[in-house]
Structure 1
Amino acid sequence: MASYAARRGPRTGATLWRVLSDGHKHVVPDGVLDLMWFQNHLVVAGADTRAMSFESVPGEVAWGLRLAPGVAHALLGVPADELTDRRVALSELVALPARSFEVGAADALEQVFIDLWTRADPDRSALRLAASLDRAARDGLSVRETAQLHDLSERSLRRLSNRVFGYGPKSLAQIHRFQRALHLARSGLPLAEAAATAGYVDQAHFTREAKRLAGRTPAALIG
């Protein structure tokens, strides 16, 4: 398995992470988009609906910024659903000044983020709405409840969710539920208890969703 570390990134729009590879990386859906420095390229990682596997050189370090809800769409000007299940070179989406990563990938990556933020000057109200929709999904609200809470029609909510998250509100809620159960299980909670706490009907329900989203059983994911 690869080692992983994270800390708060620049401003409030991203969290910086670092992964040391063991030669293979199995990435499962987590409901977010990332800006990465990976194999000497700046890459935008779209929201995933299924597990992604990557081969790399053991010991290779990848750096990234986990973007807060709505930030990728605001900074790149691209609907998030156009990036779903894709890894796209940042240069294909925006033009920015060249940055040297030789002096420190973390600092250079954060400066790229600041350049994007300054260039886009995001609408704070739109980011607050995206954050609120994400909280509703994490809380397990239904599509109808989320739409009513935000004074939106269900159709408008689905369109907005696709645009800022890469998929609809139901899928977003399912992925957050899966991630919560996985976090609880990795923290030492028995699988059945982790499943129930996260909102699954039972452990079998959690297992089916893990296989669908991650291609593996919960036991394999935490092992």
Structure 2
Amino acid sequence: METGGVSQVGEPYRERPALLPGAALWTRTAEGGEYRILPDGCMDLLFMDDDLVVSGPDSRAYTGIADAGTRYAGIRFSPGAAPDYFGVPARELLNERVPLRELWSPARSRRLLDQVRSAPVPALALDQAVASLAEEPPDRLITHVLRSVRSGMLRGGAGVISLASSVGLSERQLHRRCLNAFGYGPKMLDRVLRMNVALDHARTGAALADVAALHGYSDQAHLSRDVKALTGLPPGTLLLR
């Protein structure tokens, strides 16, 4: 991924930190044809096709087709942060793309859409609007769960039990809270986040066997199986794209 400012025509993808803490502002100009979005544990608010669309968390790669030159702008919320903003549990949006007007009142969604549509740079207007409308502080429990998952805590035999105990919940209660916040349970969240970190490492040119060992996979075959299950492609093919 390339970081920096808002993209212009001829710059397929750019992203930078958003005004909302923990979120990212990104823009993309389609090169035409099929595209593949990998699951990353996040939810996005997109300005696309002159409308605002909520992209729910994915448990598998999302594939679509866009005409060359189609432009997108989006806010990618950090994992677990978007449900409070949209007022909908993440599990209800799993693997879905839903117009914002179906989640908010018509008047509220229209105000935001008009604000973004009329701006000289829609991406910047979207960034400012999301930051101004986000009122709820981060859920400390969800923040703790996310930090624990990212640390690799769940990869031991008693990982989920230990995590549930650390926040004073049963495993079932923890699973339900994770479904509402992330769209899936803690084990699936760990698979998705670990895969993305491993692929980022592999994009540096590191050997897949070394990537697998460093990121807690039992071997390269384990890494390959997990990547293919979540993305539909083996890592070698995916990295070439």
Task: Give the corresponding residue for 1:52.
Answer: 62
Asked whether 1:210 is paired with 2:227, we answer yes
Match of 2:186 among 169, 186, 190: 169
Other-structure match for 1:5: 14
Aligned equivalent of 1:189: 206
- What stretches of structure 1 of length at least 5 have no aligned partner? none
Question: How far apart, CA to CA, are the structure 2 residues paired with 1:125 and 1:184?
Answer: 29
Shift of 1:59: 2.4
Which runs of structure 1 show a deviation greater than 3 angstroms over 4 or more consecutive aligned residues?
none
Match 1:89 to one of 92, 99, 116: 99
Q: Which 10-residue stretch deviates more, 2-11 or 79-88? A: 2-11
**Could you say if the C-alpha distance between residues 73 and 44 of structure 1 is closer, same or farther in structure 2, counting changes exceeding 3 Å?**
same
Where do 5+ consecutive residues of structure 2 fail to align?
1-10, 155-159
2: CA distance, partners of 1:114 / 1:12: 8
Residue identity opposite 2:146 in structure 1: D
Question: Could you tell me which amino acid in structure 1 is paired with residue 23 of structure 2?
Answer: A
TM-score, normalisation: structure 1: 0.91
Q: Of residues 94, 117, 129 in structure 2, which corresponds to 1:112?
A: 129
Matched AA of 1:15: A
Using the size of structure 2 for normalisation, the TM-score is: 0.85
Task: Specify the alignment match of 2:7 in structure 1.
Answer: none
Q: RMSD over aligned Cα, in angstroms?
A: 1.6
Q: SS at the partner of 1:99?
A: helix
Residue equivalent to 2:150: 138
For residues 36-51 of structure 1, what are the structure 2 equivalents within 5 Å?
36-51=46-61
CA distance in 1: counterparts of 2:163 and 2:29, whole angstroms: 38
Secondary structure of 2:104's aligned partner: coil
What is the aligned counterpart of 2:90 among 75, 80, 87? 80
Structure 1 residue 138, shift from structure 2 partner? 1.6
- Aligned residue pair count: 217
Confirm or deny that 1:71 pairs with 2:81.
yes
Among 82, 89, 99, the alignment partner of 2:115 is 99
**3-state DSSP of counterpart to 2:168:** coil
Identical aligned pairs, as a percentage?
A: 38
